[in-house]
Structures are given as C-alpha cells and as structure tokens.
Structure 1
Amino acid sequence: MARAQGARAQMAFAFETTYGTPPTGAYTKMPFASTSLGAEQPLQTSELLGYGRDPQAPIKDAVTADGNVVIPIDVEAFGFWLKAVFGAPTTTGAEAPYTHEFRSGNWALPSFSVETGMPEVPRYAMYSGCMVDSLNWQIARSGLLTATASIVAQGEEVATSTAVGTPTTIALKRFGHFNGAITRNGANIGNVVSADLTYANNLDRIETIRADGKIDGADPSIAALTGNVVVRFADQTLVTQAINGDACELAFSYMLPTGESLTVTAHAVYLPRPRIEISGPQGVQATFDWQAASDPIADRMCTVTLTNNREEY
C-alpha cells in the first residue's frame, strides 16, 4: 500500500478567467517548501433538549478553505505570486532581460487555482478562487530565503487524477540572503542584524448564503506594508527620524551575478521611537517596527521590481 510522502508532492498554478472556475490548461509547476492549504467544515453540536443526556447528531457548518504556502524567492516562479499579490505588472524591455514592475494599490486582483497532488495515494486537491491575503519573508545573514503566502480560497475539490494535464516547468534559480541589501534613501544601512516585511491585502471574504457553503469572493480592502529592522545601535540616524516623525524610503533588494534582480521599495516608511535597552555586556540592539504609507510623489506605497528573462506574466 502506497503512503503519502511530502517529497513526492506536486503543486500546479494557473490564473483564472472567471473567479472560482479552474482553467482547463496553462498550468505551471510551482516550487514550494510546504503548504497548509486545505478546506475544513466544522460540525455544529446539537442544542436540542428532550432526548436524554446523549446529544443528537451534529450538523455541518460553512466551508472554510485557506492556508499558507511557503515558497522560495526565485528568479522566475516568484513573479506569479507577485502578480497574485499586486496585480499584473508593467513589463519593459524589447528582449531579455525584461523588467516587471508591480505596484501596490490595485483594486482588481487576479484569482487563481492551485492543485496539490500526492500521486502515490492518489489524491489531487484543486483549490479554486484563490487570492493572496498576505506575503511576508525574513531577511537574515544566512539560511534559505523563502516567503510565506497566506491564501484565501473559495473551495476544494478532491479527485484521484490530476486536472491540470502536463504543467509547464520552470528552471529553478533562487535568490539567497547573501545576495541581499537594505538601503535607506539610496544609501546602505549599516549594522542591520535582521529584518522582515509583510504586505497584506486584508481581504474581506464575501460570506453570502449558498447551498454549497462556499464564499462568493474576497475583496481587497486597505493594504498594509509593515515590518521591522533590528540594528546594532551605532548612531542616532534612525532614532532621530523616529522622533521627528519623518518618512524615508527603504529598499530591500537581491541581485545575482548573472544580472537577475528583485527589489522591494517602500516609498514612505515611518519609524516608531524604540526602547533602547542595555541588557548586558554585549552589543546594544534596537528594533524599529516600521510601517509604510502612500507616498505623494510616487503616488503609491510600494513598488516591486523583478528583472529576469521571462517575457510576461
């Protein structure tokens, strides 16, 4: 008897033309590290009296389909997730390399379908009407560079055979922490120990009354770009900015020797005044929990620029 193994799991991804309707083709095989994406339907305990101490049979509640997918931040496949988060990019370049610019603030975000497969069981779960609620990752000195996409889906359909045919494969080429840099107003920030950032669409589920218990969709509300930067306390630059209430531009970038790059630019970042603690003889660190806002000059909160050899997303 075959048993499910994560090492043999597969994931295919395709954007939808109609919300909640999985495409019949044009799927792409996506790299991923783990996923908690799934559907659940809780039971409502019977409240009825008069039948003795033993309860009556429970009834089914509404279906909830959501979860997280941990994905590598790579040169090509990551662009599909960026499109799901920000909407279609503006692409420039007559030939490779191409520059894809994703901008925050879009009201119309694309939905997509994801199929996860365990061929040895066999079990193939199709999640339709998927939208990305948030995307976050950590920046460190070493380790594997991955991001976590939090997904809201309409529903799950399980089958014993795949519905995606033969998906298109992508040559995996990953960015690493070693390729990263953080700048403030165009200049490198020194003494950074770690950082993280989260972009949230803050999706509002449309929970209408339906016979199948699924949602009708998910609308984006006010977006948010937040994070923190942990620095070795060496000067007063960031503290002074926090006290004055000024905004700065923070850019988180990765570049490979072969020319591919990824840059996340938060155009107007505000810093809170941090507590500076001396906890022992070691170096003193300060944590700045920053948040971004719309910049009147850029007319948006953030821009993500991905440069690679893919012509379009």
Structure 2
Amino acid sequence: MARAQGARAQMALAWESSYGVAPVSGYTKMPFVSSSLGAEQPLLESDLLGYGRDPLAPLKDAVTADGDITVPLDAEAFGFWLKAAFGDPTTTGAGPYTHEFRSGSWSLPSMSVEIGMPEVPRFAMYSGCVLDRLGWRMERSGLLTATAQLVAQGEAVASSSGAGTPAEVTIERFGHFNGEIRREGVALGNVVSAEVSYANNLDRIETIRDDGKIDGADPSIAALTGSIDVRFADSTLVDQAIAGTACELVFEYTRASGERLTFTAHEVYLPVPRISIDGPRGVQASFDWQAAVDGALGRMCTVELVNDVAAY
C-alpha cells in the first residue's frame, strides 16, 4: 500500500468566475513548501438526559475550511498570491512586463486550490478560497518564503485530479541576498531582520445553510504591519518615532536577470521603542511599524512585480 509523502504532493490553482464553484480548466501548478489548508467539522456531544450514563451519538457541527500555505518568493508564481491579496494588477510593458498591484480594493478574487497526494490517491479541492493574510520575513541568509493564509468555503475530496493538466511556471526564486530596504529613497543600514505582513481581515459570512459552509469572505479594513530590527547606530528612526511623522519604506528584491519585486509602504509610522542593553555585544532596537493610507496617492501600499508573464 502506498504511503503519502510530501515530496510527491501537488498543488494547482485557478481563479473562479463564481464564488465557490471550482473551474473545470485553467489551473496552474504552484510551487509550495508546506500547506495546512484543510477542512474540519467538529462533533457536538449529545446533551440529552434520560438514556443512561452512556451518551447518545454526537452531531456534526459547522464546517471550517482554512489554513496556511508556505510559498517561495519568486518572479512568476508569487504574482498569483499578490493578485489574491490585492486584486487584478495593472500590467504594462511588452516583455518584460510590469504588474502593479494596489491596496484598497473592495473586491478580491476567489480561487480554487487543489492539493493532491497521488499515491493514496487523494485530491482535495478547496473552492471559494480568499486570501486573508500575506507576509514574509527578511533576513541575511536562508531560504526566502512567504506565508499565505486562506479562508475557503469547503473541501471536496476525489480519487482523481479535477485540475486536468495544469500549466507550468518557471521557478525563478528571489533570495535574501537579493533584498534591500529603503527609507525615503535611501538604503536603510544596520538592519538585522524585518517582517512585512498585509492583512485583508476577512469577514466570514456565516449564514444558515444545509451544508454548514460559509456564504463568502468579505474584506474589511486592511492592515499593513511589520517590524524592523536594527543595530543601534544612529537616532534617525527613533527621532521619527518621537516626532510621530511618517516615512516611505520600500522592500525590494532584484535578480541579476532583471526580475524584480518592489513592495512600497507609502506612509509608515514607527513606535517609540524600548532600547535595552543585554550584554557586552551590540545594542539592537526593534520597531513594530504600522502603515496608513497616503492621502495624496489614495492607497496604503503599491507592489510592482517585473517578469515575463503577460497577464495574471
């Protein structure tokens, strides 16, 4: 009997034309590192009395379908997750193409994601997937990955794939050494690590249905937050925090072959940090920043992805 192994797992993704209805074609094979996406339906203990000490059979509760998918930050496939987070991009160019994603959209696309384990076989199709949160961590070394948190409507399990033959993407990963952080257009020095997290803060529409599923997941007030850990070498960030003013932060990755990912937070506010001395080594300061809408631009952040993909 075959045993399921993560090394043989497959993931395919397609955009839905109707929420919760899995497309019959148009799937793309997605690279991923790990996935906790799944559906669960807990049991409710019987509360009836008068039938002895042993309980009666439990009842099924509502279905919850969600989870995290860890994906690489790459030049092609990451555009799907950016579209899920921000909506359709504005694409310019004629190869390479520049895809510009903007925050603030009231309408987000839904998608169907199939995770297959062919050796069992088990192919789980998660329809009505909407992206709740997307974030990653910048460091000096290691593999660069992002976490996409999804809310799905439900799960349908089959013994064969419903994704057909998905299209392939070219794997062109960004690395930590490709990364740079700029403040007001100038490279920000002494940065040890940083985190970026964009949240749509989805509102699950939990109506009464005979199948226990949700009716949808609507975006509410978005949030763009993160942290910057720096070696304490000057008071630039501390002075900004004390003054309560905003700055522009740019998180960018560039490959030698020309692919680029630029994430711009237009109006970032810094808290006044506690600066502690923990021993004889260097002193570090941590800033848990928050972004807000830029009144002139009318949005909180802009993401540019430059690659050879004509459209998402």
Distance 2:236 2:58 in 1: 61
Give the equivalent residue in structure 2 for 1:36.
36
> Residue 152 of structure 2 corresponds to which residue in structure 1?
153
CA distance in structure 1 between the aligned counterparts of 2:58 and 2:90, rounded to whole angstroms:
51
Answering whether residue 212 of structure 2 is matched by residue 213 of structure 1, we say yes
Please report how far the alpha carbon of residue 225 of structure 1 lies from its aligned counterpart in structure 2 after TM superposition: 0.2
Partner of 2:237: 238
Within 2, Cα distance between the matches of 1:281 and 1:164?
Answer: 57
4+ long deviations beyond 3 Å? none
What CA distance in whole angstroms lies between the structure 2 residues aligned with 1:219 and 1:111?
Answer: 10
Aligned letter for 2:276? E
**What's 2:174 paired with?**
175
Q: Distance in 1 between matches of 2:273 and 2:52?
A: 60
2:261 is aligned to: 262
Q: Does 1:82 align with 2:85?
A: no
Q: Give the SS at the match of 1:138.
A: strand
Matched residues in 1 for 2:100 and 2:47: separation?
Answer: 55
Number of aligned positions between the proteins: 312
The 3-state SS of whatever aligns with 1:257 is coil
Once the two structures are superposed, residues 198-240 of structure 1 have per-residue CA deviations (whole angstroms, 9 ceiling, x without a partner) of: 0000000000000000000000000000000000000010000
Pairwise CA distance, 1:55: 1.2
In structure 2, the partner of 1:104 is 103
Shift of 1:54: 1.4
Provide the C-alpha distance between the structure 2 equivalents of 1:302 and 1:150, rounded to a whole number of angstroms.
Answer: 19
CA distance in 1, matches of 2:46, 2:158: 31
User: What is the CA deviation profile of residues 233-281 of structure 1, one whole-angstrom value per residue up to 9, with x for unaligned ones?
Assistant: 0001000000000000000000001111001000000000000101110
TM-superposed deviation, 1:49 = 1.3
The root-mean-square deviation of aligned C-alpha atoms, in Å, is 0.5
Query: Structure 2: which amino acid aligns with 1:107?
Result: W
The CA deviation at 1:297 is 1.6
| 1:197 counterpart residue number | 196
Deviation at 1:299, TM superposition (A): 1.1
Q: TM-score if structure 2 supplies the norm length?
A: 0.99
Q: Which residue in 2 is equivalent to 1:311?
A: 310
> What residue is the counterpart of 1:279 in the other structure?
278
Give the TM-score normalised by structure 1: 0.99
The equivalent of 1:60 in structure 2 is 60
User: Which residue is 1:12 aligned to?
Assistant: 12
Q: Which one-letter code corresponds to 1:25 in the other structure? A: S
Helix, strand or coil at the partner of 1:277: coil
Q: How many percent of aligned residue pairs carry the same amino acid?
A: 70
Once residues 234 and 47 of structure 2 are traced to their aligned partners in structure 1, the CA distance between those partners, rounded to angstroms, is: 63
Structure 2 counterpart of 1:188: 187
Deviation at 1:53, TM superposition (A): 1.7
Q: Shift of residue 128 of structure 1? A: 0.1
Distance 1:242 1:113 in 2: 42
| Distance in 2 separating the partners of 1:107 and 1:241 | 32
Letter in 2 for 1:70: T
Secondary structure of the structure 2 residue equivalent to 1:294: coil
Amino acid at match of 1:27: Y
Q: Deviations over 1:278-310 (max 9, x none)?
A: 111000000000000001122100000000011
> Which residue identity is paired with 2:242?
I
Offset, 1:143: 0.4
Q: Which amino acid aligns with 1:28?
A: T
Structure 2 counterpart SS, 1:243: helix
Superposition deviation, residue 100 in structure 1: 0.3
Contiguous gaps of at least 5 residues in structure 1: none
Tell me the residue number matched to 2:291.
292
2:250 is aligned to 251
User: 2:239 is paired with a residue of what secondary structure?
Assistant: helix
Q: Give me the whole-angstrom Cα distance separating, in 2, the residues matched to 1:211 and 1:71.
A: 34
